[in-house]
Amino acid sequence: MKSLIQGIHHITLCPGGAQQDLDFFTKVLGQRLVKQTVLMDGNIPIYHFYYGNADADVGSIATCFPYSRKPGRAGSGQLSCTSYTVPAGSISFWKEHFDRHAADNSGVQERFGTKYLRARHPAGLLFEVIEERTDMRSPWTTTQVSRDVATRGFFGAVLSVRDPGEQESFFIDALGFHKVGVDGPYHRFEVPGSGPGRIVDLYVEPERTPGSWGFGAGTAHHIAFNVETDDALVKQKAVYEELGYTDASEIKDRFYFHSMYVRSPGGILVECTANVPGGFYRDETPEALGTSLLLPPWFEDQRTAIVSQLEPITVPEENRPKSGATAAPRAPVAAQTPAPDSAIPLSRYKATFGADKQAT
* Binding positions for Fe ion, rule: CB under 5 A: 12, 224, 271
Report, in Å, the least distance between residue 273 CB and Fe ion. 7
Report, in Å, the least distance between residue 343 CB and Fe ion. 22
Report, in Å, the least distance between residue 9 CB and Fe ion. 8
Nearer to Fe ion, 271 or 284 (CB): 271
Report, in Å, the least distance between residue 10 CB and Fe ion. 6
Nearer to Fe ion, 38 or 150 (CB): 38
The DSSP symbol for 24 reads I
Nearer to Fe ion, 164 or 197 (CB): 197
Nearer to Fe ion, 150 or 224 (CB): 224
Residues 6+ apart with CB under 8 A from 323: none
Nearer to Fe ion, 104 or 250 (CB): 250
Determine contact, residues 154/59, Cβ cutoff 8 Å.
yes
Report, in Å, the least distance between residue 2 CB and Fe ion. 24
Nearer to Fe ion, 97 or 252 (CB): 252
Helices and strands (H, E) in the chain, number of each type: 5, 16
Determine contact, residues 328/57, Cβ cutoff 8 Å.
no
Give CA–CA dist 254/347, Å, rounded.
9
Nearer to Fe ion, 57 or 131 (CB): 57
Q: For residues 212, 215, 218 and 224, what is the CA-based torsion angle, rounded to 10 degrees? A: 90
Report, in Å, the least distance between residue 36 CB and Fe ion. 16
Determine contact, residues 291/345, Cβ cutoff 8 Å.
no
Report, in Å, the least distance between residue 232 CB and Fe ion. 17
Alpha helix stretches (DSSP H) within the chain: 18-23, 91-100, 164-169, 230-243, 303-308
Closest CA to 259 of 83, 31, 57, 41: 41
Q: Looking at 256-360, which runs of residues are DSSP E strands?
A: 257-263, 269-275
Give CA–CA dist 128/206, Å, rounded.
22
27 three-class SS: helix
Determine contact, residues 28/98, Cβ cutoff 8 Å.
yes
